[in-house]
């Protein structure tokens, strides 16, 4: 695609698939954690283990299934069928609580197993399928806009979940909540998957899936794509800082600041509403201003407002600071995600989505939550929650996360922006 304008079918398919997938990820990223903490065990380290294992599964799945989609020159079946099974596995997660009579540790193990299965299908559909499809269907001139649409759907999904989750959980409990989410993901995902059309420029590769992966690690191949991996390090650093505090934000709002789960969800909902409005304009700005400059500005603002978020307890100031750091998160996401996709090789977009997932998901979601969990355990408040001992995270998770975000400037200095 050479035109700056995105076709209606491309916009609709990206929007619907992104929305369905990100609804599932929003629930997995927050309410799986909340369910495990409130219904199974209030030990933050279990959340850290679950986040780490599922991100490893997600990356391996993305690399293998992405490579498979490159070899087959197909994106649509991976997106469509992946979403169907993703919806089913999203709904079964709370069934892990039925194993509590066999012991807390066993119930936690089942919960993590269910999450890993769900993650495989999510990685296949969204991380491998959709990311490659966006790159196939866009150009350097309009990729920022496409990523703006995708990020907008990400934020809308979070608004849907945060806006409704607290009310639904209070009204009907966790089980019905997860069933509703599974049904919603299936309906929206199937509608979007049907609209996906594979690019005519895709051609099957004459190598097997694993040989295709192996070829990537040849020295000449790595040298050719050196700048791509530097950009991935940029992505990785700010995501580590973000993941120090984000997996615990609802727990922090509910148990440290004392808000109800409904009020905590609304406090997260408000910044997402503002960011949705700004996501597409930020995509346009990224296309015009450039990936590197946008990332530089966003790094400073992200650091500042995340740090300030941890200083305040007033509900109005929390809402304002939350809105400002989330706008910074949206801006740096659009810029760095578009930048990485600019550097995908034509013959390996599915597979390289896996490497993108490794640096934007797996590594930061192992390191970040473990840092956050350790900080909560060492510097948190000891408490008895649901008759079990646990720890409540304190503002230090925001201070440390913000400082780590600032370290993005180091690899950013060495990264080069691809010119048209």
**pLDDT tens for the 420 residues of the chain, in order:** 445 677 888 899 999 999 999 999 889 877 888 889 888 888 878 888 888 898 889 889 988 998 888 888 888 999 999 999 999 999 999 999 999 999 999 999 999 999 999 999 999 999 888 988 988 888 777 888 888 888 889 878 877 887 788 788 889 888 999 999 999 999 999 999 999 988 877 778 787 788 877 776 666 666 778 899 999 999 999 999 999 999 888 889 988 998 887 888 788 878 878 888 888 888 888 888 989 999 999 999 999 999 999 999 999 999 999 999 999 999 999 999 889 888 887 777 777 877 888 898 788 888 998 899 899 989 988 887 767 777 888 999 999 999 999 999 999 999 998 644
Give the predicted TM-score (pTM) of the model.
Answer: 0.75
How far apart, in whole angstroms, are the C-alpha atoms of residue 230 and residue 56? 21
Reduce the DSSP state of residue 372 to 3 states and report it. helix
Q: How many CB atoms lie within 10 A of CB 277?
A: 11
State the DSSP string of 230-271: HHHHHHHHHHHHHHHHGGGHHHIIIIIS---HHHHHHHHHHH
Question: What's 385's DSSP letter?
Answer: E
Reduce the DSSP state of residue 300 to 3 states and report it. helix
Q: Are 412 and 295 in contact (CB under 8 A)?
A: yes
The token pair that represents 25 in the structure block:
């990820």
Give me the count of residues in the chain: 420
**Every domain of the chain and the residues it spans:** 8-199+218-414
Contact partners, residue 267, CB within 8 Å, separation at least 6: 253, 259, 315, 318, 319, 322
How far apart, in whole angstroms, are the C-alpha atoms of residue 162 and residue 160? 6
At the top level of CATH, which class does the domain 8-199+218-414 belong to?
A: mainly alpha
Tell me the backbone φ, ψ of residue 391, rounded to 5 degrees. Answer: -130, 140
Residue 419, pLDDT score: 46
The single residue listed with the structure tokens 């990820």 is 25
Question: What's 102's DSSP letter?
Answer: G
């Amino acid at each position: 695609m050479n035109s700056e304008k995105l076709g209606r079918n491309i916009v609709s398919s990206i929007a619907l698939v992104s929305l369905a997938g990100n609804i599932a990820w929003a629930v997995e990223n927050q309410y799986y954690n909340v369910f495990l903490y409130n219904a199974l065990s209030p030990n933050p380290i279990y959340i850290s283990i679950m986040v780490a294992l599922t991100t490893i599964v997600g990356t391996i799945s993305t690399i293998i299934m992405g490579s498979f989609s490159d070899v087959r020159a197909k994106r649509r079946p991976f997106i469509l069928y992946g979403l169907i099974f993703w919806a089913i596995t999203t709904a079964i997660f709370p069934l892990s609580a039925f194993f509590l009579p066999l012991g807390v540790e066993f119930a936690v193990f089942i919960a993590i197993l269910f999450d890993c299965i769900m993650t495989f299908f999510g990685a296949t559909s969204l991380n491998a399928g959709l990311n490659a499809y966006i790159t196939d269907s866009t150009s350097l001139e309009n990729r920022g806009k496409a990523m703006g649409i995708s990020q907008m759907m990400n934020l809308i999904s979070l608004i849907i979940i945060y806006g409704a989750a607290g009310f639904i959980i209070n009204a009907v409990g966790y089980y019905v909540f997860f069933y509703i989410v599974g049904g919603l993901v299936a309906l929206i995902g199937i509608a979007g998957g049907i609209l996906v059309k594979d690019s005519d420029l895709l051609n099957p590769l004459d190598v097997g899936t694993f040989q295709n992966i192996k070829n990537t690690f040849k020295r000449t191949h790595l040298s050719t794509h050196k700048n791509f991996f530097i950009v991935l390090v940029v992505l990785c650093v700010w995501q580590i800082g973000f993941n120090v505090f984000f997996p615990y934000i609802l727990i922090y709002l509910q148990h440290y600041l004392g808000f109800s789960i409904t009020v905590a969800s609304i406090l997260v909902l408000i910044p997402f509403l503002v960011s949705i409005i700004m996501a597409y304009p930020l995509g346009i700005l990224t296309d015009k201003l450039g990936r590197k400059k946008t990332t530089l500005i966003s790094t400073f603002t992200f650091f500042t407002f995340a740090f300030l978020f941890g200083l305040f307890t007033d509900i109005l100031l929390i809402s304002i600071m939350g809105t400002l750091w989330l706008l910074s998160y949206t801006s740096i996401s659009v810029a760095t995600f578009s930048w990485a996709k600019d550097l995908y090789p034509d013959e390996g977009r599915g597979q390289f989505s896996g490497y993108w997932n490794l640096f934007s998901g797996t590594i930061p979601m192992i390191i970040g939550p473990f840092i956050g969990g350790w900080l909560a355990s060492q510097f948190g408040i000891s408490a008895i929650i649901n008759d079990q001992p646990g720890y409540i995270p304190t503002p230090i998770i925001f201070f440390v996360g913000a400082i780590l975000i600032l370290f993005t400037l180091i690899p950013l200095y060495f990264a080069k922006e691809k010119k048209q």
